Amino acid sequence: AQKIVVVGGVGGGATVSAQIRRNDKDADIIIFEKGEHIAFSNCGMPYYLGGVIKDKEDILVSVDRFREKYNVDVRTGTEVISINRKDKKVICQNESGEQEVSYDKLIISPGASPIVPDVDGRNEACIFTLRTIPDMEKINNYIEQNQPKKAAIIGGGFIGLEMAENLHERGIACTVIDRSSQVMKVVDKEIAEVIHEHLREKGIELILDDGLEGYSNNGKTVHLSSGSTLQADMTLMATGVKPNTDLAESASLKLGRSGAIEVNNDMQTNDPDIYALGDAVETKDFFTGEPRHVALAWPAHRQAYLIASHLAGEKVENHGIIGTSIFKLFDLTIGSTGHNKATLEDAGISYKEAFLETYSHAKYYPGSEKLWLKIVFDAEKGTIYGCDVIGFDGADKRLGVLATAIRGKMTVADLEEVELGYAPPYSSPKDPINILGYKANQQLS
């Protein structure tokens, strides 16, 4: 039987192990996870902190159950500290000391870590990041013990905004601070404006074009680049993540241009016996084939499938990544996929754009809500490169349709023709997707 060693036991690591077991009943699979938990839902953590998910157990998976269900040797509390590629061994460390374990194939999914700006006061007890279950517990305990009234959130990406909603729901007044002129840099400016308005409407204070300088007063005074300060009983740093590459680098595995681990189409590193996946790797962009780092759950799961298939000797094409994301912000659903204007300009691709402000379904039927759609497409052929969709109802459906259209290399002319099904509670005889298609296609013909 093949001996497969997996480093990291959450998004990528647990998934690839389960996937391999489906293909191979006999493989010896060992997962090393330095934390105490495996296969937990990082994505559920903001909702536990907001009280939407009441029971922590709902986002955890029992190590024993995982072990039993997949017949995988799970070793938590054990960190892999180095890789000896020559002898195909990993050196790991836990409470009882160091140990060497051999492998036939090694799979690394060490994830990413929150970027913590190197500023004064960043280690104070009221300043947090959110990546792991212990991080979540620390935040929860702090809230329970100190009853904070005000929180500062540094960074307006999806984790910062999800946390703004959830802390707000818990009765904590939040200020979101971002050094750029908009939150959610993946969406275009018009869409970001809608998000800004919704945040303010919900009572979240927003400070843009201003960065974090440091903390004083035991972390309770937040200093900004403009010289202004604000008082906060707690702060969440949500300024992005960086791939965990130390282990790979120390084993001379190659990093790519983005700074994440470089892999080929089969997810092998420059050592063919070592695969890598998840937030730690860069893969290729669906359109350009250029390296792209997308730290989301879908890519990790797809990559797990690619690795398990490759190990089983099946050839599965890797077409690269479009980069679809979606999240909820109070009443709003915010979705985005593919390229936006900025990334197209960076890639030197000429594009046109279409923007539509409309309603989710027939206006006369209750529950019809505003919906905004934006697409960018090839200036000549009309092939769709990307979209942002935002709204209160039916936004997830339109995002799904557009993401599928992009994957199918459809053009804006095709959008005129997609039949999505109409009845007043769901749409209009011409769906917003069709109207967007007509609007965009006009620009070509």
Tell me the catalytic residues: 43
Beta bridge partners of 152: 175, 235
Phi/psi of residue 171, each to 5°?
Answer: 90, 15
List Cβ neighbours of 161 (8 Å cut-off, separation of 6 or more): 176, 183, 184, 195, 199, 327, 329
List Cβ neighbours of 177 (8 Å cut-off, separation of 6 or more): 152, 153, 154, 155, 156, 207, 210, 211, 212, 222, 224
| Least distance CB 435 / ligand FAD (angstroms) | 29
| Least distance CB 112 / ligand FAD (angstroms) | 7
Two tokens, residue 138: 């620390």
Closer residue to ligand FAD (CB): 48 or 377:
48
Q: How far apart are CA 406 and CA 411, in angstroms?
A: 8
Q: How far apart are CA 257 and CA 245, in angstroms?
A: 13
CA nearest neighbour of 279 among 253, 254, 304: 304
Closer residue to ligand FAD (CB): 32 or 377:
32
Q: What angle in degrees, to the nearest 10, is found between the helix axes of 63-70 and 11-23?
A: 30
| Least distance CB 118 / ligand FAD (angstroms) | 21
Closer residue to ligand FAD (CB): 96 or 445:
96
Positions that interact with ligand FAD (CB under 6 A): 7-8, 10-13, 32-35, 42-43, 45-46, 79-80, 109-111, 130-131, 159, 244, 247, 278-280, 295-298, 300, 327
Closer residue to ligand FAD (CB): 245 or 434:
245
| Least distance CB 307 / ligand FAD (angstroms) | 12
| Least distance CB 308 / ligand FAD (angstroms) | 14
Beta bridge partners of 83: 90
Closer residue to ligand FAD (CB): 9 or 437:
9
